[in-house]
A and B are shown apart, each in its own frame.
Chain A
Amino acid sequence: MRFLRALWLVTHKDLLIEARSREILYTTLLFAAACVLVFAFGFVREGQPLGDAAAGILWIAIAFSGTLALGRAFDRERQSETLRALMMAPIERPALYLGKLLGILILMAVVEVVIVPLVALLFQAPLFRRPALLVGLLAAGTIGFAAVGTLFAAMLVRARSRDVLLPVLLYPITIPVIIAGVRGTAALLQVEIDEPMARAWLAMLGLFDVVFITLALWTFEPVMTE
């Protein structure tokens, strides 16, 4: 119970700060929309999007804007050394990690609520024929991406050139998430929905989430201790 309370306090703090300025939300949303627009020029020919372009654009927009949100969220903690204060607080490290993760997840979920319909609309993608599977893929993929991203962004707070290092470290590690997200969503976009394929990718994403959240909880303490 104490653990959950500590977790929620960390998330609540982040959400409160964000609710006051809405800086990260607005910038991330605009960035994601700009991403979708830029990719449209690359993957739309004669008014028609190429093959599975919609799925790819959706997940790249999620990954890019997620990286931006992660970087900004931890930059905020760095500015007045609040992360150090959090580390000194008498709460368990896993609660701290999960609290930060939950905050990022809520932020990314809000961005996705806007971006997914936008992609469906702009690329004539029939995304909502299996809503449960789509939501499952989005949730599992976002959790996997954010689980690795939160740990990396947290540990890079003290590092030099962190802005460049975050995507350099994060993208190669989260390539399974990107592949699974894109292929799973593409399976949902086909004329005849390839449900077993989407389920297989969803299962892989679930396994990825379990393994990497466990690993992150395990390594958060030794990585963050100075």
Chain B
Amino acid sequence: MKRLFPLTLLVVAAMFVYAPFAILGAPQESTMGLVQKIFYFHVPSWMAMFLAVGICGVSSAVYLFNRNRSADRLAAAAAELGVVFGLIGLVTGPLWARKAWGVWWQWDARLTSTLVLWLIFQAYLVLRRYGGPGSDRLAAGVAVFGMANVPFVYWSVNMWRTIHPTTSVVPTLLPGMRGPFWFCATAFVLLFALLLAARTRLETRRAELEDLYLALDE
């Protein structure tokens, strides 16, 4: 694992250096033009966010029922990453919308439900940070509820607002766009894995420090 880390880091760095050239090389979209290029890392950042939400929810459930502390550390790391990648998506989305739809924010199904999800995981972090002792288990409960909430939020926001412009662009991408898109998606997922490993390590070291303090007290 420790050997793999620098290697993956190099690969990710190389991929991110090459990414802008791949994106610029992709064909221009006919109606949206240049601004559509935001797509190449807007969508991958959502992918990373949903990956984070899934990991956080599942490992929180594992923590709740098995009392596995390393699952809790993984969940905490994933939640923070979910918020970071979600923020990338939430900021790049309106920048794209400004040009494509003419407004900064559209109460569109995807945008809104992701904002709700982002808020839930923001709340998870706030609870961990300010909840005091024992809040890790409470936060795990929130994460499980948050994950179960995803289909409800999506369905209800979708029914509330049915103007979503693109339901499934990814499978119908032009061949010239498909390559750069999957390249960027892979780069983001690798970056996500890398950050997750680093962040989990931080959490593990913190737990070790806590144990050391306890040993000192005795």
Let me know if chains A and B touch directly in the complex, using CB atoms closer than 8 Å. yes
Residue B8 CB within 8 A of the other chain: no
Cβ contacts under 8 Å, A211 to chain B: 148, 152
CB-based contact A226/B145 at 8 Å? no
B153 CB-CB contact with A under 8 Å = yes
**Is the interface on chain B under 10, 10 to 19, 20 to 34, or 35 or more residues?**
20 to 34
Number of A-B contacts (CB under 8 A): 89
Contact digits for A202-226, partner B, Cβ 8 Å, 1 yes 0 no: 0010011001100100010011001
| Cα–Cα distance between A169 and B155 once the two chains are bound (Å) | 20
Residue of B nearest to A224 (CB): B137
| A165 near B156: Cβ-Cβ < 8 Å | no
- Within 8 Å of chain B (Cβ to Cβ): is A53? no
Query: CA separation between A37 and B111, bound complex, in Å?
Result: 32
Among B135, B144, B153, point to the contact of A219 (Cβ < 8 A).
Answer: B144
Assess whether A180 is in contact with B145, with CB atoms less than 8 Å apart. no
With A160-B132, A211-B148, A219-B64 given, is the CB distance from A180 to B156 under 8 Å? yes
Contact in complex: A215, B130 (CB < 8 Å) = no
Bound: A165/B139 CA distance, A: 11
A173 touches B145 (CB 8 A): yes
- Contact across chains for B134 and A222 when beta carbons are under 8 A apart: no
A211 to B65, CA, bound (A): 18
The distance in angstroms between the C-alpha atoms of A140 and B132, with both chains bound, is: 34
A179 touches B (CB below 8 Å): yes
**Residue contact A223 to B141, C-beta cutoff 8 Å:** yes
Complex: chain B residue closest to A156, CB-CB: B138
Cross-chain contact of B152 among A151, A156, A165, A176 (Cβ < 8 A): A176
User: Does the CB pair A179–B157 fall under 8 Å?
Assistant: yes
Contact: A165 with B64, CB < 8 Å? no
In the complex, whether A90 has a CB less than 8 A from a CB of chain B is no
Q: Known: A169-B123, A175-B116. Is A161-B130 also a contact (CB below 8 A)?
A: yes
| Contact assessment for A172 and B120 in the assembled complex, using a CB-CB cutoff below 8 Å | yes
Q: What residues of chain A lie closer than 8 Å to B132, measured between beta carbons?
A: 158-161
A165 pairs with B130, CB closer than 8 A = yes
By secondary structure, the A interface counts as: helix
- Cβ of A165: which chain B residues have Cβ within 8 Å of it? 123, 126-127, 130-131
Residues of A within 8 A of B126 (CB): 165, 168
* B65, B120, B131, B148 pick with most chain A CB within 10 angstroms: B131
**B142→A169 contact, CB < 8 A:** yes
A77 → B minimal CB distance (Å): 16
Asked if B119 CB lies within 8 Å of chain A CBs, one says yes
Closest to B65 in A: A222
Smallest CB–CB gap between A46 and chain B, Å?
Answer: 26
Most buried by B among A151, A152, A179: A179
The reply on B146 being an interface residue by CB < 8 A is yes
A183: Cβ under 8 A from any B Cβ: yes
Complex CA distance for A86 and B132, rounded to whole angstroms: 22
Q: Contacts of A179 on B, CB cut-off 8 Å?
A: 156-157, 159-160
What 1/0 mask marks residues of chain A from 137 to 154 whose CB sits below 8 Å from any chain B CB? Answer: 000000000001001100
Contact partner of A223 among B119, B138, B160, CB < 8 A?
B138
Per-position 1/0 for A187-208, Cβ under 8 A of B: 0000000000000110010011
Tell me the chain A residues, 27-53 only, with Cβ under 8 Å from chain B: none
Q: Which one of B116, B156, B157 has the greatest number of beta carbons of chain A within 10 Å?
A: B156
A-contacting residues, B38-59, CB 8 Å: none
A204 touches B152 (CB 8 A): yes
Say yes or no: is A155 at the interface (Cβ < 8 Å to chain B): yes
Q: List 21 A-B contacts (CB under 8 A).
A: A159-B131, A161-B130, A161-B131, A165-B123, A165-B130, A169-B142, A173-B142, A175-B116, A175-B153, A176-B155, A176-B156, A200-B159, A204-B155, A211-B152, A212-B148, A215-B145, A215-B148, A222-B141, A223-B64, A223-B137, A223-B141
A-to-B contact residues, CB < 8 Å:
148, 151-152, 155-156, 158-161, 165, 168-169, 172-173, 175-176, 179-180, 183, 200-201, 204, 207-208, 211-212, 215, 219, 222-223, 226
Task: Kindly list 15 other residue pairs between chains A and B, CB separation below 8 angstroms, not including A158-B134, A215-B144.
Answer: A159-B132, A165-B127, A165-B130, A168-B123, A175-B153, A176-B152, A179-B160, A183-B160, A201-B159, A207-B152, A215-B148, A219-B64, A222-B64, A222-B137, A223-B64
